[in-house]
Chains A and B, each alone.
Chain A
Amino acid sequence: MKGLSSLIEALSDYLPQVSVILLAVISFCVLIVFKKRRNKSRDRKVIYWMIILSVIFIFNNISMEFMGKLTDSDTFYRFLWAVPVFYVIGYSMVLLIEKKHHFLSKCTLAVMVLLCMMAYGSSYMQERNISFVGNFEKMPEEVRAVCKVIEENKNEENPVCAMELDLQSRVRANNPSLVWAVKRKQYLYFEKYGYDYPNGKYVDARNILKVVERGIRIDKDVFKASLKKKKVDFLTVNKKLRVKEYLNEVGLELVGETEHYRVYHVPEE
């Protein structure tokens, strides 16, 4: 049963992508079979040349390297936006519906609908993505509360704040005077390699994140030194990490509490 459930999980991960590709291929075949065109020979030649030119200028390693130098090789997938997949799928389905009295078109349409249903598990209309009117502001109350505590206790115009990712990603949308202590690329580095990766990179960010994200009680002097190097003014920690005594021993000053978080001020030395 475990093997079956892991198979189902793997299928649900890959099925949407496979379904889109299959649908696109079937749609293309539908257009060739069902669509009447005046100048088939010219159309075919134009399509062949478009594919050849796409490979020469876009879908090859040299272009990908060039794109990587220009922006980011991770953004190369945007060239796929030039392929009008959904338009082709929609067009072919309408053609099939028009010719629904043909047996072949009925079968093809049934297969396409089945592929759509198989992909539904990946749909964006999932509970986890949706917030209803109760969260019209798109800003959790906790974020506002933490920002309010920091605003009431800050001495500087732009305090540097360290907090867990969920909170940090939203605070500047609420209060742009706050400055992140840990940058995005540092977060992503530790997400990829973990906190115990034997490498000297981003040492101070790693020390701060170990406490703030995982509640790991690292050496107090090392932690204090990292806070000083990063010029952190405020530290916000989730109550469930249970590091209250540890942070008191480090010498941080508790300035406020919300429902889920404690906000500490890092004193100047």
Chain B
Amino acid sequence: MFVIIECSCVIIFFLYIFTVLGVMTSRIIKRSSTLSESLLIGFFAYFLLFQCVALPMVLLKQSVSLLCAIWVGVLIAMVVGSCVFLIKSRLEYVSYVSIRKKKKRDIKCYFVVSAVVIIFSYLVIIQDYWEWDTAFYIGTINTSVKTNTMYLINGESGKPETLLPFRYALSCFYMNSAVFCRITGIEVVYFQKYVIAILCVVLSFIVVYAIGKILFHNNMKNVALFVILFATINLIFGTEYTTSQFLILRAYEAKAFCANVVMPTIYWLLMLLYNDLDHQGNWRLLFLVMLASVPVSMSSILLAPALIGIVILAQIIVDRNWKYLRMTLICMAPNIIYLIVYLLYTLKIFVIKV
């Protein structure tokens, strides 16, 4: 019972931090965002920030305890900063949750969408999937927590690594879990299978909701129906090559976030840009998402730039408007840099011995 309460508190804490970070980030990039969009933006901002702190420590072979100490300081600063920010802005952002301005029918649709998310989250956490990758990722986090090292010991077999494995070490997603497990004392299995899995489901449905609002021009009834159908189709089709396997069975893995949060967020932004390629706020947000895509999941290293490259290049070719090529390349740049570093590692030109 205590574990359920602990996990619930951590989930609420993450949602709060993501929302506040998202509101502040929206202000910085000068883009007006709704509450749900802020939560999504904050998720990317959080992992980008974590990557900035954790990646140098991983590459320098520092301990998890040192990373915890630094990150706790950052989290305290975030919480204090967010309280000051909210008070100074005279709680104007609380109006996001004001229901007085919303239509009755829209309020019913919000409840329907929330109910879908809660039911789907339950269906995800009762899954008992355990395969090689599960053993690897949970083993990696558990090893980091217990041995106080980051990627110096193979998470799956327990044998010491000879080289720092860039395939996993360049993305600090799992080290975030290690940090929180060390701070809170929650067992890694619970943290991944409950906290991280539920966060994946919530964020993925926020993107579905955001996409629905564009497709149906804010007709909340159709948006709610779209969310219900999306959830149902994911539950029905148990096929290996779709994103549903990762959302339902493996929502605790970084790949699940790539398939169900990062890529759909990029679709959402591309849809916004399709209607208005001059919207600077959306370009800045796309850059932020691309910057944070590899910190969330290494699977984004090729997928994300391929998607935006193809979609925007197609529009540029049709419209014969080449000025957007520069912005596209800037957005793709972070992933290209990570790709170059990773290529140098695979060619054994840039390696870090353990």
Interface membership of chain A positions 97-132, coded 1 if the CB is closer than 8 angstroms to chain B and 0 otherwise: 110000000000000000010011011111001111
Q: Is A189 an interface residue (CB 8 A)?
A: no
Which B residues between 223 and 280 are near A, CB-CB below 8 angstroms?
Answer: 225-226, 229-230, 232-245, 248-249, 255, 258-259, 263-264, 267
Judge whether A214 is part of the interface by a CB distance below 8 angstroms.
no
DSSP majority for the B interface? helix
Binding site for B on A (CB under 8 A): 16-17, 19-20, 42, 45-47, 49-50, 53-54, 57-58, 67, 69-71, 75, 77-82, 84-87, 89-91, 93-94, 97-98, 116, 119-120, 122-126, 129-132, 135-139, 158, 168-170, 172-173, 176-180, 183-184
Main secondary structure of the interface of A (DSSP, over half): helix
Residues from chain A with Cβ under 8 Å of B342 in the complex: 70
Given A80-B241, A86-B242, A177-B158: A70 in contact with B314 (beta carbons within 8 A): no
Residue of A nearest to B243 (CB): A81
* Interface pair B244/A124, CB less than 8 Å apart: yes
Q: Is the CB of B229 within 8 A of A19?
A: no
Residues B128 and A57 in contact, CB atoms below 8 Å apart:
no
Q: List 15 A-B contacts (CB under 8 A).
A: A46-B315, A53-B310, A75-B299, A78-B258, A80-B241, A86-B244, A90-B230, A93-B229, A94-B222, A123-B236, A129-B127, A129-B129, A130-B126, A179-B158, A184-B157
B159 at the interface (CB under 8 A from A): yes
With contacts A70-B342, A78-B299, A87-B267 known, is A173 near B142, CB below 8 A?
Answer: yes
> Which chain A residues border B263 with CB–CB below 8 Å?
81-82
CB distance from B238 to the nearest CB of A (A): 4
Chain A residues, Cβ within 8 Å of B156: 172, 180, 183-184
Bound CA–CA A169/B159 (angstroms): 15
- B258 to A120, Cβ gap below 8 A? no
A186–chain B nearest beta-carbon distance, Å: 10
Given contacts A50-B314, A138-B128, contact A90 B233 (CB under 8 A): yes
Binds A, one of B27-35, B68-76, B133-141: B133-141
How many interface residues does B have (CB within 8 Å)?
A: 77
B143 pairs with A20, CB closer than 8 A: no
Question: CA separation between A235 and B318, bound complex, in Å?
Answer: 65
Q: Do residues A16 and B237 form an inter-chain contact, with CB atoms below 8 A?
A: yes
The reply to whether B259 and A179 form a contact with Cβ atoms under 8 Å apart is: no
Let me know if A57 and B142 touch, CB within 8 A.
no
Q: Measured between alpha carbons, how far is A245 from B149 in the docked complex, in Å? A: 42
